[in-house]
């Protein structure tokens, strides 16, 4: 790419950073009319279109970029994010999986992949992905919350409460989300505790209705 073309891309990026997505789109579309092989042009057009909530067009722009080079982590990541916003969770999952092939130690991608699995109803896969995310980034409050919520959905209340507490320690602002379900988890844990306690009691301590009482009922 020539120096003049680089300046066009820099100007578009500045417009995107300044929140002027419509202006950036105009600059990039004009650029791509003359340089349709511009990877940076298509990539940044995808970002600008996404910022302007033109998600379906953004996906097409990322596809154009991937047709030029499909080994760039950021393109797969951004395409996955746009597809997730479009509620195409399966396609988003596939994009995040491709991103992880390129950069397997990215905690945010593992977290996002977990969100896709969760939306697709695969709780065990979601938990596994969130576990990878927090292992890679131990201060990742959002991933700890997501892991806690996934355990709650799977009925694993003890783990749900434990990881929710970690999430709250890292980010107290998550309390509103945690409060939506933690009382249910705590209630289920208490019921399970009482039932286990009852079952441990000697049989002689468990009240048996004498025959004469049975006849009165």
Q: Which of 129-133, 148-152, 175-179, 213-217 has the lowest mean pLDDT?
A: 213-217
What pLDDT score does 205 carry?
A: 58
- The predicted model scores a pTM of 0.85
Read off the tokens for 180. 């939506």
Q: What is the dihedral of CA 67, 102, 84, 130, to 10 degrees?
A: 170
Q: Which of 6-10, 56-60, 85-89, 130-134 has the lowest mean pLDDT?
A: 6-10
Higher pLDDT, 213 or 66: 66
DSSP state of 70: S
What pLDDT score does 103 carry?
A: 97
What pLDDT score does 146 carry?
A: 98
Examine the pLDDT at 142 and tell me if it is beyond 80. yes
Q: What is the 3-state secondary structure (H, E, C) of 119-157?
A: HCCCHHHHHHHHHHHHHHCCCCHHHHHHHHHHHHHCCCH
Cα dist from 60 to 47, 64, 190, 199, whole Å: 11, 6, 51, 61
- Write down all domains in the chain, each with its CATH number in brackets: 1-76 (1.25.40.10)
- Each residue of 27-47: b (16+ CB within 10 Å) or e? bbeebbeebeebbbbbbbbbb
Examine the pLDDT at 193 and tell me if it is beyond 90. no
What pLDDT score does 204 carry?
A: 54
What pLDDT score does 105 carry?
A: 97
- If we measure between CA atoms, which residue out of 84, 40, 90 comes closest to residue 62? 40
Q: Tell me: the pLDDT tens digits for 24-70?
A: 999 999 999 999 999 999 999 999 999 999 999 999 999 999 999 99
Rounded to an integer, what is the distance from CA 57 to the centroid of its chain? 22
- Each residue of 78-87: b (16+ CB within 10 Å) or e? bbbbbbbeee
What pLDDT score does 210 carry?
A: 65
What pLDDT score does 122 carry?
A: 97
Give the separation between CA 172 and CA 165, rounded to whole angstroms.
9
What pLDDT score does 201 carry?
A: 72
What pLDDT score does 217 carry?
A: 46
Q: Tell me: the pLDDT tens digits for 148-180?
A: 999 999 999 999 999 999 999 999 999 999 999
What average pLDDT does the structure give for the chain? 93
- If we measure between CA atoms, which residue out of 43, 38, 53 comes closest to residue 4? 38
């Amino acid at each position: 790419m020539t120096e003049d073309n680089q300046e066009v891309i820099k100007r578009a990026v500045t417009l995107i950073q300044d929140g002027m997505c419509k202006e950036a789109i105009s600059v990039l579309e004009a650029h791509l009319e003359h340089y349709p092989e511009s990877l940076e042009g298509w990539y940044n057009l995808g970002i600008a279109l996404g910022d302007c909530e033109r998600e379906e067009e953004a996906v097409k722009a990322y596809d154009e970029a991937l047709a030029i080079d499909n080994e760039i982590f950021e393109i797969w990541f951004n395409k996955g994010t746009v597809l997730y916003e479009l509620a195409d969770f399966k396609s988003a999952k596939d994009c995040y999986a491709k991103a992880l092939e390129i950069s397997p130690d990215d905690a945010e991608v593992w977290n996002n992949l977990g969100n896709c699995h969760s939306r697709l109803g695969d709780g065990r896969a979601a938990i596994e992905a969130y576990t990878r995310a927090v292992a890679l980034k131990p201060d990742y409050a959002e991933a700890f919350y997501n892991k806690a919520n996934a355990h709650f959905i799977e009925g694993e209340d003890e783990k749900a409460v434990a990881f929710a507490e970690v999430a709250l320690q890292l980010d107290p602002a998550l309390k509103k989300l945690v409060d939506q379900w933690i009382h249910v988890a705590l209630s289920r844990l208490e019921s399970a505790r009482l039932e286990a306690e009852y079952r441990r009691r000697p049989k002689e301590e468990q009240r048996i209705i004498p025959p004469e009482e049975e006849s009165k009922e």
